[in-house]
Structures are given as structure tokens and as C-alpha cells.
Structure 1
């Protein structure tokens, strides 16, 4: 197989093809490019023109730059009489339609034929390649599917052209771009063409945006770098291309580490890569390209390869080194994102923010905060302010952001033993995870990335838990529980305990009785935040309603045997008590300690 890079004019020029033509064989599907595909191609070429053409001087900035329209695969037939198009007939036909509209019909005479779709060939040759279709505004009945799509493409070219506000020679230069600066990679192959076609179309996958950007950067960025520094040494360019390839691999490998990948994913919205042509699972470097897109948005351009195709004028200097600037920007993003990940406090605070308040924070806002900070310590302070804002917002009176009063309200709610946190699960989980973050930062322990959300965990009472849900109507379980309440030293009046016991024994249906008991127990701190932790569901259910001492022994043993991962705050809560009982006094101490730690953290 040989690869040739040919401009559109060379592709159809007699001097290049020696009177040969292209044939669309019968195993090819019909023409079916949609209007949107045609418009995108026309707009891409216009964007390329705007990049390299100065209308005031009627000159091109660079004589070497070209627009690459991917490839076509062809195979020589009948001893070189013509080429069968194995792959790329959609592009080839579309180019022919555009050329015809812009008056370059002389290039197309006898150059494009169809083996079995004679009607398609006749319509192209008689109506499109002669320009009759546009000149006569032919509205005849559409005969077949190919004709429908060809007409739609032809109409789109005309519509698009009329929408443009061409300046002086701009339209003429656009045609010049189409002819001489639009190039295709021509793969000339040999062998069984049906098998080649099957291999190409049956097993091929579109190149990922990362592949295309790698090619653009290595090809153009290094060249622009040395043109900017006025060096003509091709060896330096080639050496730098090798270095660029190595760095791009390094970046992709770093982004692909499991925990790094999850961290990067949290920083972006959930649908960031939908229909973009960038597969972040195969090429994790795409996370950084998405970040670049969000940092330098173009409201008219979606997140696709087209956004990056000609580089980005990051500096806004119009020097013509946009690919080089884009490469430098990629390195810069890689640098500060890696700084975020490797700094323990920044890692913890960012992971907490984006895991628990993803609908309220966004990458660009955090990036701007980073840029405006005087250093890492300043940035860390700003992150703590963000966390504080979202934790305290529900305690701000009438929407007024009075941080002092909001903190007082939160502290009051945290320390009130009658507060039923068990029913405030979303806020409870956020507070418990924030405690993990606080204790991890203090102890220099790096919280695993999956710990910033609660998944596969239960909210567990440290001590004095009522019977399980399935036992709520079990008299024996409740009577046993009431007998144990004295051991918890909750200072519950013995007369009250006797009353509960009597009611349970007398009533057939105990729903109302147990409901009232639970309500009264809440006033003793049963569901206060000081009596609640997060535990892995399997671990929690393994000991069910065991005593505090049994729970503590199992949890600590599991931790040291690596049977289950234990959260820092959960481990602290169980290991800080050195007795075999968990009493009301323990709940009070636990509540006061965590309230102090939370309030002390918030800014």
C-alpha cells in the first residue's frame, strides 16, 4: 500500500490521474451525507480560510498550511484504466458537489462513475456537474434515495453560500482553499477489494479526538515553535516532536491511573463527553482537553475535534502559533491539575466539593479561584470558604448570608440531643464525610477517592439502637431492649420504663406504643448526630443489634484484618471509648466534639 497526500485539484486533475476516473463499485452503499455534514465541512473550510487569509492585503499568512479531509482508499482496476473507491466515496461525492456549485465543473467531466447505480451517475453528470440543477432550479420528482441526498447536499451548499457576507476577494480565495489547500490522504491498495472493504467498514472505528489532536500537535506545534524562534533546523523540529509524543503519553498515563481518573471525572459534569468524539475511558487525556474547552469556550462551537483543529489563540496575539499555544496550554492544565491532586488538602477539599455539591460548583469557577489566589494556602482557604457556604446555606435566615448566625444555628442543631439526624440523611452524610475530611487532613491520611460519597453504606447507631425494622412489632425484642436501657445509664426514670413494659405486655397491636417509645428515646440522644456513623452495609448487617462492646470489637478487628474499609470518623468514634458501654454521657461528648470540629473548620 502507498499513501499519497493530494489536494482536491490534484485528485481530479488529468495530469495527475492520466485520464483515469473514479468508480463507485456496487458493494458500496449509496450517497447519504446529511445536510448537517455538508454544512460542517463548508464551515470548517471557512474557518480555515479566516485563520490564514488577510483580506486587507489579499494574502495568505502561511503557504504551507492545509486542511486535511481525512482519507480515501482506492484500488487500481483493469491494468490502471480506473480506480475503484473502496472507502471515502461520501467525501469524494460531496467534494464533487461543492466544486460543481462553485463553477469548477471542468475538473469533474468523466471523473466519477457508478457501477450499478446508473441513475445516480446520470443525475450527477447531467444535473450537478453541469450546474443545471442550480441554474434551472429543477424540481422534478425524486427518483431514488441517492438523488434525495444529493439534492439535499446541493441545496445546502447554495443556502450556505447565500448566508455568507464575503469580503472583496474572499469568496474567490475560499474556492482556492477548496482546490489547493484541502487535501486528502490517498491510500492506494492492492488485493481483494471486497475483503479490504469489509475490513475497513466492518471493523474500523473512528479516530478518537485524542488521536487527532496528537497528530495536530506533534505535526504543527513543534513547527510553529521553531518558526517562532526563527530556527530552520529540521533536526530540532523532529527531536522536539519525539519529546512531545513522550510527554503526551506521560500525561495520558497519569490521567489513566484509577484514582486520578475518578478525581478528574468528578471535576466535570456527568455528560461532558456525550456525542463529542472524545472517549475519556480509552484516552483519559481527554479530561484535560475538556477542561481546556471549558476554559476557552466558543459559544458557536460544540466540544468536538473541530474546536481544536487549528489550535487556540490563547494569548489573543494573532501571531499564527495557535497550535503551539494550545500545546503549552495543555501542559499548563496538566501542571495545575496534578498540583491539585498531589496536594493533600486541595485534593480533599476539591473532592468533597465536587462529590457533594456537584450541581453548585463548576470547574471553571474553581479554576478562576485558583488563578486569582496568591498561592496554595490562599487557594485552600477559598476552598474552605466554598465548603462553608454550601454547608451553612440552609441555616441562613431568609436567604441572608450571615455566616456568624448560620454557624450558630448549625452548632445549635448539632449539639441538640433531641435533633433527629437519622431522618436528615442527605445532610447527615455530608457532615459525616466532612468529618472524615477534617480528620484525614489533620492526621496526614489520604482519604480514598471513593470515600467522598456514601455508596453501599448504612447509617448505623453507635449504641442504644432500637430493634431492627423487621422486629419493630416483636414484643419479645422490645421487652428485652427496655430491660437493657438501664445499663446504658440514660437516666430514664424507672417508672417510665415500667410503664413502657406494661403497655407492651397489655397491647395486642404495639405500633403506637413503640412509636411513642422511639419519640421519647430521641430526647435522650438516640438519633442525635453523636450516636450515628457510616458503616459498610455488609459489616453493619453482620452483627445486627449487637451490644456496643461486640460492635466495637468486630469493627476494630475487621479494620486491622483489612476485611472492610472503615471511615476515619467511624473508627475514631468506636476506638475512642475504652469501656464496654456506650452511655448518654458518651453521646454528649461525641456530639460536642464533632460540633466543635465542624464549626472550627467552617469559615
Structure 2
């Protein structure tokens, strides 16, 4: 994905605020299927958020959702290329909590669907305090939307303390949950990106997310194009060379102690997993808040990316009175990655 913008975005940043009276505007194009999450998927997300051990007033500890891949459209707002199932489910969860606990309609974000404009209305109707939600079997999407809402309602009703658990889930989602925000820019058609993601041609977890994190244009604010290009080419070329060597069958088997070999994996992930553990170990000596209990278990697909992203935030905050340009800080961090790589290869 060329010309991308990469980072994390709090759910709270999507919601209604003074600067966004209607919240963010999301648009789901017609090449995507409708809402299809089952009870087990909704329950699993609720359980994961409940188990996340957050720390009040420390937003550096957060629960991370899978990538939300978007592109901006002047007419429709944010076109959702990937991640609409979770985005819709969060809307349903927050709507249900607000209605059950506070008897109010949640002020969230706007979900619009090209294929079925009425889906917007079905979601909005869930929050009507005078509406007793029942299963709607007239339409497949309406069925899954109402079933998800009733699943959330039943899950909350089973809690020992509805108000306490509901308020905690609400706070965790709004303030301590983030999407990996992957903004696609340029002239590539969203349909092509969507197809590539779903065919497995574009990976959006861990190693590939880390690569995007290191190469994103936003790292180089205020620097000239030549400096940006040289830095990006340097990192990208080194990455490709390292990955190519790790893809060697004999070397991979030697490093992993396994007879198995998978060409579908990004093998740089092995280096990053080891490095992430050392980063956490080194950081918590002086920054105990860097470690989050259960974080690796709850964020299996994106844990390494989270640690790398958090480490870069800490490094930037530690800049001296005469700070390095961010690109130099980034290259210093890349040098650390190369040293880890060489420990295993040399």
C-alpha cells in the first residue's frame, strides 16, 4: 500500500465531539458483504475487553483491535476497506450499554452502507429508548444486527453487577481501546485493495504492520523529500534483503529448530517477537506501566506491532533538549533491529 498513513486511533476519537457534531462518517461500499458476526464472535470480543487489565489515566496501555483500513472520500467520508465488522459491533455494544445503563441514545459515529442504506436506520433504531429490540428476520443483515444487540444485552444481564460491568466496558472501549488505523492514500481503487487483503496478498498484522509503521510518510514531517526518500529506501532495501535470507529453507529450519517451513509467513516476525520481549523486559525496569497483563494473549495477531509502536512513542518522548529529527531516531531504532537480526544470522 503506497502512500499510506499508519498509526493507532482511540475509539473515542471516532465519536461525537464539539469538533465533530455527528462523529466520524464511515461508508461501507457495496463490494463488501453485510454485517455477519455471530453470537460467539460478539461474546468473544466482550470477554476480551472485560479481561483486558487497564489502568485508569494511563492511555499508553490499551486494547488493540485489528486494522481498520480506510480511505478518505470527500463525498462519503471514510470509506471502510477492511474492518467494518468490528466497527459495526462496537457501535452495537456502545449503543446497548448506553441504553441499558443510562436510558439514553448513544452519540457515536455514523455508519452508512452503499448496498443497503436502511442498515444505517436499523443501527440507529437500536438506541431508541422507546424501542424494545426484537429479532428481525425480514432481512439477513437486520437479523444479524438485532441478534448482536440481544447478545450484548444478554451478556450484560448475566453480569453480577450490571452497572459496574457495563460502565467498565464502556470506559474501556471509549478510552482504552484503539484501532490500528491504516489510511490508504493515492489513486489505487479501494476495490483492488479490498480484494488483495482478502486474497492474502496484503498482510496487515505484525511484521507488515511494523514495516508500514517504519516507512510511513508521517515520520518525516518537516524534512525535505530527498531525506525522506533516502531513509525509506534504506530501510525498505535492508528489510527485503533480511527477509529474503530468512526465507531460505535451511536457515529457517536451523533458527526455529523445526522441520516445518511456511512460505506464507513473513519470517522477519521471528526477529520481532524476540526483540519485543527484550523491549518489554528492559522498559519495565524504569517504566512499569509499559507492561500490560494479558496483552499478548488478548492481542495475539498484533502484539508485536503494539510493542514496537509503544516503544517508538517512548523514544520520542525521551528526546533531549536538542532532539534528533524523527527520521534519525527512526534510523537508530532500525539499527537496533539490524543488530538483532545479525545476532541470529552472523
Determine which of 11, 17, 22 is the counterpart of 1:8.
11
Q: Identify if the C-alpha distance between structure 1 residues 2 and 144 changes in structure 2 by more than 3 Å, giving closer, same or farther.
A: same
The Cα RMSD (Å) is 5.0
User: Does the alignment pair 1:85 with 2:88?
Assistant: no
Aligned residues: 267
Q: Between Structure 1 and Structure 2, which shows a larger proportion of helix residues?
A: 1
Within 2, Cα distance between the matches of 1:175 and 1:216? 29
1:221 maps to none
Matched, 1:202 2:195: yes
Cα contact 2:14–2:108 (8 A) shared by 1: no
Note if 1:284 corresponds to 2:267: yes
The C-alpha deviation readout for 1:412-433, integer Å capped at 9, x for no partner, is xxxxxxxxxxxxxxxxxxxxxx
**Cα distance between partner residues in 1 of 2:185 and 2:94:** 26
1:130 aligned residue: 128
Structure 2: give runs of 5+ residues left out of the alignment.
Answer: 100-104, 216-234, 276-293, 308-335
CA distance in 1, matches of 2:87, 2:160: 27
Instruction: Quote the residue 1:75 is aligned against.
Output: 72
1:96: which partner in 2? Answer: 91
> Aligned partners of 1:200, 1:180: CA distance in 2, in Å?
30
Change (3 A) 1:169 1:213: farther
Q: Report the counterpart of residue 112 of structure 2 in structure 1.
A: 113
The unaligned stretches of length 5 or more in structure 1 are 54-58, 219-243, 274-278, 293-297, 312-327, 343-603
SS where residue 207 of structure 1 aligns? coil
Partners of 1:200 and 1:152 in 2: CA distance: 30
Does the CA contact (< 8 Å) of 1:22 and 1:112 recur in 2?
A: yes
Q: What is the aligned partner in structure 2 of residue 45 from structure 1?
A: 49
Query: Structure 1 pair 15/6, CA: closer, same or farther in 2 (3 Å)?
Result: farther
TM-score, normalised to structure 2's length?
A: 0.56
Pairing of 1:186-335 with structure 2 (within 5 A)? 187=183, 196-204=189-197, 205-212=202-209, 255-264=246-255, 267-268=257-258, 281-286=264-269, 304-305=300-301
Deviations, residues 20-57 of structure 1 (Å, cap 9, x unaligned): 7434344443122344443443344334x40x32xxxx
TM-score by structure 1 length?
Answer: 0.35
2: distance between equivalents of 1:208 and 1:155? 31
Superposed, which structure 2 residues align to 1:188-587 within 5 Å?
Answer: 196-204=189-197, 205-212=202-209, 255-264=246-255, 267-268=257-258, 281-286=264-269, 304-305=300-301
3-state DSSP of counterpart to 2:70: strand
Question: Aligned in 2, Cα 1:116/1:289: closer, same or farther, shift over 3 Å?
Answer: closer
Give secondary structure in 2 for the equivalent of 1:107: coil
Deviations 1:224-283 (A, max 9, x none): xxxxxxxxxxxxxxxxxxxx9999889756643432223345x3475xx9xxxxx66542
Corresponding position of 1:64: 60
Distance in 1, matches of 2:305 and 2:158, equals 23
User: In structure 2, the residue corresponding to 1:123 is in which secondary structure?
Assistant: helix
Q: Is the 8 A contact 1:103 1:131 kept in 2?
A: no
SS at match of 2:19: helix
Seen in structure 2, the aligned counterparts of structure 1 residues 132 and 213 have a Cα distance that, compared at 3 Å, is farther
Query: For the residues of structure 2 that align with 1:156 and 1:112, how far apart are their CA atoms?
Result: 20
Structure 1 residue 142 displacement after superposition: 0.5
Q: Which has the larger radius of gyration?
A: 1
Q: Taking structure 1 as reference, are residues 176 and 284 closer, same or farther at Cα in structure 2, changes over 3 Å only?
A: same
Helix, strand or coil for the counterpart of 1:9?
helix
Instruction: State the distance in 2 between where 1:186 and 1:209 align.
Output: 13
Q: Secondary structure at the match of 1:97?
A: helix
